[in-house]
A and B are shown apart, each in its own frame.
Chain A
Amino acid sequence: MSRRRVVVSGMGCVSPLGSNCTETTEALREARDCVTPVRAFDVSQCKCRTAGQVDDPGGVEGFPRSRRWNPASRMMLAATLEAIVLHGRFTPDAVIIATTSGGMTFGENFYRMFLHGERSPQAARWVREYVPQQPVRDALDALGVEAPIRIVSNACASGTNAIGAAFHLIRSGRAERVLCGGYDALCELVFAGFSSLQAATGDKCRPFDAGRTGLVLGEGAAVFVLESLDSARAAGREILAEVAGYGAANDNFHLTQPNPDGSGPRASMESALADAGWSADSVDYVNAHGTATTFNDACEARALAATCPQAAISSTKGQMGHSLGAAGAIEAAFCVLAMRAGFLPANLNFRTPDPDVALDIVANTTRPHAARRVLSNSLGFGGSNATLALATL
């Protein structure tokens, strides 16, 4: 079986940290807290009233039609545009994008229309744009990119799964170039959902802190051009990073809670390390899933301590919240940006180490370090666990 090397030759990132990779790098370097009071809908009945929000992605002013779009479509457009801007006429073999809620705000509008008893002339558009592939299709159409779309939806592990699926397609020789990543826009249904589970906090999001009380939500999109190393070199493109390995595992413990013994993320990390052919002690840094919920962080910390005890660890969710289906893609982008800029991203709002687990947390400020090998973890509802192995080339 063919095992070609796979590289990142284009990348776009829209998040509360910034509308592009340059802005994002600076916000990451400054360890900026980008969580703000929720503006899009009423949260007065929720314990958590903050989120990491994207005001309006810059860089898409040249696409006036996009003003009518769902925020998810605009974020996808901005991230995709940035990812392919240096690629000229771009035709990927496939587009593999992750999301958990698609255009849910339009679904909410559609239901409310019936509730209020007023048929809206927008109804057909809401239905059309509700489906999760539509924001991707909107972005591709605006940019003149023609390619089939595959949507991956494994809850909060989706973004990492989408990149992993693209990686496998290219490495096996079934595709040459794949556009991949993830998006999710903040919506009322999901906000109320995490509130109902009492997983969202009224405090700051404090990953791995002994006093952590829960997550805050976020939103954004990150898109990558993955291609074979040979293809990128032949085209003379700048190589941003190598995707060296990918691992996924399912723990079957509970629909919303990970197995406390950490076996799920441990299996996905070990699988990614084996796939990359790396020893665990060669990993410089792990971007943890680190949602700051009691269960997630305890489970993941156990897995990290067992698998990569020497690696520096941070969760970047303290800076921007948890962007669900986009999280794995955005955090992979953070890893690439941080490797290239020579620092390790900060784990914000960290006060007290958890006495149960000794980890080298990059607490509150970035750490100068030229990391060469990093892992990025994602854990999701349904027992989904996924890990990417990323490296400088």
Chain B
Amino acid sequence: MSVAVQGCGWVTPLGRDLQGVWTALKNGISAPVSELKNPFTGTPHAVRRVDEQFFSDTARQPRLRRSSAISHMAVAAAMDACRDADHTAGNDRLALLFATTNGGVIYTRRFFADVAERGAHSGSPLLFPETVYNAPASHVAAALGIAGTVSTMVNDATAGIDAVAAAIELLESDACDRCLVVAAEEADWIICDGYATWNYRPVIFSEGAGALLLGRDGDVRIDCPPTCRTYRTIPDGRRAMKDVVARLCGDRTPDLLISPASGTRFDGIVSELPGHLLQPGQALGEAFAASTVFQLICGVLARRETPGLSLVPVVGLHGQLSAATITR
């Protein structure tokens, strides 16, 4: 079953304006690169950051005053998606699925730094609640008054597409009338250092949030398998991805391939897929689950411009993959 994409919103290193960022991506403009340094070793990491001005705007919201960047970006993207859809009705039957790979890592690192450096009694009661994975979802739900299903899904980049699959399930089972899928990541030196230690080196790390408002009615439709597929090796992943795409597309040929490629060995999994290629990760950086929703939004915006089929393959670095089609 496909569902309709009724609205989109994003907060990216290239800005927050839906059309403005889309135009920049199509014109091959990349977000500026800055540096995050490990304060202990001095190791620098290149990152594409969301403009600091964005945070001063959202910090005026009372509930977000003490929250981390990830929550600010998630709330902004979610509200923009509702605005994009002209969704002003009550939110009684609105569900929220939040996806992330790394969660609120800045406050988690800061909280534990206090504990590790000064003892267990030094942990801040203001920071700790923001360390839980579902804190951003809670802030989004509060901002929009969502009282029904609110759930947070954590995984590699596939969390973003798994959230879409779960949203389709909720809509199909009539558990809601509309479902917001929001994914967000925040950049921190410890994340960059961690992935580098693990020998996962994308072009450049980044941060941001993307949101899709899904419902039953609308011209732009999204579909994806109910669960991800697993893979062990790159060739194995390539086979699995081809199979997923074949099942999703049938005899239709995608005219646009929104690739997840970010400069790692995992890019090989999608290298043989058909369609005119767009690689938002090259311009926006690697923001894991948020990058997945950025891909999906690109697919939606392309379909708003012209009818056709956007193919969005998603490859996680923890052995999972999936794909979505977006049609109009």
Residues of A whose CB lies within 8 Å of any CB of B are 1, 42-43, 45-46, 93-94, 100, 102, 107-108, 110-112, 114-115, 117, 123-124, 127-128, 130-134, 137, 146-155, 161, 165, 168-169, 171-172, 174-175, 188-189, 191-198, 248-252, 255-256, 267, 380-384
Contacts and interface: CB of A to CB of B under 8 A. Distances in A.
B230 A154 contact: no
Across the A-B interface, the 9 shortest Cβ-Cβ residue pairs: A382-B138, A153-B133, A193-B128, A114-B40, A148-B228, A196-B123, A45-B121, A192-B123, A192-B120
A46 B147 contact: no
B146 interface: yes
B173 A1 contact: yes
Interface of B: 38, 40-41, 101, 103, 108-109, 111-113, 115-117, 119-121, 123-125, 128-135, 137-139, 141-142, 145-156, 158-159, 162, 166, 169, 172-175, 190, 193-195, 197-199, 226-230, 318-320
Nearest to A250: B150
B126 to A, nearest CB: 9
B155 A196 contact: no
Contacts of A42: 120
Contacts of B132: 100, 153, 155, 381-382
B320 A148 contact: yes
B229 to A, nearest CB: 6
B198 A128 contact: yes
| Residue from A94, A102, A148, A168 with most neighbouring chain B CB atoms (10 Å) | A148
Contact of A123 (B131, B151, B174, B197): B197
B121 A193 contact: no
Contacts of B113: 111, 115
Contacts of A172: 169, 172-173
Contact of B138 (A132, A195, A255): A255
A168 B195 contact: no
B194 A110 contact: yes
Nearest to B117: A115
A165 B163 CA distance: 12
B194 A189 contact: no
| Residue from A130, A154, A188, A196 with most neighbouring chain B CB atoms (10 Å) | A196
B115 A151 contact: no
Nearest to A114: B40
Contacts of B134: 153-155, 380-382, 384
Contacts of B125: 196-198
A188 B115 CA distance: 9
A156 to B, nearest CB: 9
A127 B197 CA distance: 8
Contacts of A175: 226-227
Contacts of A134: 318
A149 B158 CA distance: 10
A382 B128 contact: no
B120 A249 contact: no
Given A195-B120, A381-B129, A137 B318 contact: yes
A175 B173 CA distance: 13
Contact of A110 (B128, B149, B190, B199): B190
A151 B138 contact: no
Contacts of A256: 129
Contacts of B227: 93-94, 148, 150, 175
